[in-house]
């Protein structure tokens, strides 16, 4: 068995507000049954398995992974991952964030509900290795090179994950429909965070009033109602886990568990505790 080892190189001069920011990269040879989580992150973290096996758990789903597979952890998503007991995995990771990254993930067909890319090319592993070295050296050009490597990795994931054809944003849909989808994805990515519609509008480059109207027209419900619907769906899943109501409230963007309980009852018709008991 290999000796457990883990190294990480972080960006030497991280800056806020970039469309795409590569934050750190590293690699690990884990111990048998080595486990991370349950936890939540504030950036996107992708692991690509070099060899060995392990399990990734997210949104009430378990994924078995092996060599060549990549799994994506989205910001605010409660998750765990654990090495196999007999063949603990060895993997490389890259952490990044920014609206550009969100767009690439969508185009590659990678979402919190489909957080895997099975097998495929070795480019992501080479990218993670290169970025780790770049950040260790700390040269001022590291930003450019790291972004370039991440682009190559995304191209590889997209080739593996998506059937041939135009990217989703170019398939003949209206601009309003595409923008409503963008807004919906933004809201989905913020399920665990207290956010406002004004904040969303600002980040997507539209006026609050206009975006609200556009969203309501395309989706048949207001952005706030959509956000609540998604949060309650998530809450129902999390209530099947051994988490307190307070933890479920926090994981669904409610700072106040009391208010969460009240909202849950209004949506579902029973309190979180009653819902949990009914599912047993």
Partner DNA sequence: TTGCACGAGTATAGATTGCC
Partner DNA sequence: GGCAATCTATACTCGTGCAA
Q: Which residues bind DNA (CB under 7 A)?
A: 175, 194, 196-198, 206-210, 212-213, 216, 222-225, 228, 244-246, 254-259, 261-263, 265, 271-274
Q: What is the DSSP letter of 207?
A: -
| Cβ(90)–Cβ(2) below 8 Å | yes
Q: Which residue, 68 or 223, is less far from DNA as judged by CB?
A: 223
Residue 193 C-beta: closest distance to DNA, Å: 10
User: Would you tell me how many other CB atoms lie within 10 Å of the CB of residue 240?
Assistant: 13
* Contacts (Cβ under 8 Å, ≥6 apart) of 139: none
Helix 257-268 and helix 223-238: axis angle, to 10°?
100
CB of 226 to DNA, least distance (A): 8
C-beta of residue 74 within 8 angstroms of C-beta of residue 97: no
Residue 105 CB, shortest distance to DNA, in Å, is 24
- Rounded Cα distance, 9 and 24, in Å: 6
**In the complex, least distance from residue 9 CB atom to DNA, rounded to whole angstroms:** 37
Instruction: Give me the torsion for CA of 145, 150, 156, 160, rounded to 10°.
Output: 180
Neighbour count for residue 46 (Cβ, 10 Å): 26
Minimum Å gap between C-beta 79 and DNA is 21
Residue number, 149 or 254, with CB nearest to DNA: 254
Q: Which is nearer to DNA, 41 or 195 (CB)?
A: 195
Q: How many CB atoms lie within 10 A of CB 206?
A: 18
Q: Residue 3's Cα: distance from chain center in Å? A: 30
Distance CA 250, CA 58 (A): 16
Residue 212 CB, nearest distance to DNA (Å)? 4
* Nearer of residues 144 and 210 to DNA, judged by Cβ: 210
């Amino acid at each position: 068995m290999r000796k457990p080892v883990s190294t990480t190189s972080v960006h030497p001069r991280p800056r806020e507000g970039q469309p795409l920011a590569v934050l750190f990269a590293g690699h690990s040879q884990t111990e048998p049954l080595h486990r991370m989580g349950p936890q939540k992150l504030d950036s996107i973290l992708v692991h690509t398995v070099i060899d060995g096996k392990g399990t990734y758990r997210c949104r009430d789903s378990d994924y078995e992974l092996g060599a060549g597979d990549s799994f994506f952890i989205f910001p605010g998503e409660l998750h765990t991952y654990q090495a196999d007991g007999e063949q603990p995995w060895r993997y490389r990771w890259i952490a990044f964030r920014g609206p550009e990254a969100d767009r690439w993930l969508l185009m590659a067909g990678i979402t919190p509900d489909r957080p895997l890319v099975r097998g495929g090319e070795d480019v992501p592993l080479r990218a993670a290795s290169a970025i780790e070295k770049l950040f260790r050296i700390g040269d001022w050009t590291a930003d450019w090179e790291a972004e370039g490597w991440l682009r190559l990795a995304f191209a590889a994931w997209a080739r593996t994950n998506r059937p041939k054809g135009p990217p989703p944003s170019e398939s003949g849909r209206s601009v309003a429909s595409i923008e409503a989808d963008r807004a919906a994805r933004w809201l989905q990515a913020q399920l665990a965070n207290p956010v406002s519609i004004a904040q969303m509008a600002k980040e997507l480059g539209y006026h609050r009033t206009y975006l609200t109207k556009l969203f309501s027209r395309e989706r048949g419900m207001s952005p706030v109602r959509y956000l609540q619907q998604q949060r309650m769906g998530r809450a129902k899943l999390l209530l099947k886990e051994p988490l307190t109501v307070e933890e479920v409230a926090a994981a669904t963007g409610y700072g106040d568990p009391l208010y969460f309980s009240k909202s849950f009852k209004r949506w579902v018709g029973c309190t979180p505790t009653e819902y949990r008991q009914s599912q047993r």
